[in-house]
Amino acid sequence: MAKKDTTTKSFILRIDSATMDAIEKWAADEFRSTNGQLQWIISEALRRNRRLPKQRKEKSAGEEAPATD
């Protein structure tokens, strides 16, 4: 049995046909699926408006934690 991905949520979106046509064309122009294009549009809008939670900076591979004695 396939493991369910809990990092995404599904929902129904109602959108007028002219807007959907424009999104589908835009997605094709950028070699994305329509779903991928919608996710990108939403992510970009959230990022530009500073609505995404702050991401923690992960230490690079060469960085070590300070030694504790």
pLDDT at 40: 96
State the amino acid at position 44 in one-letter form: E
pLDDT at 33: 97
pLDDT at 31: 98
pLDDT at 55: 75
pTM comes to: 0.67
Task: Produce one character per residue of 29-58: b if its CB has 16 or more CB atoms within 10 Å, e if not.
Answer: eeeeeeeebbeeeeeeeeeeeeeeeeeeee
pLDDT at 68: 58
Spans of the chain, pLDDT less than 50 = none
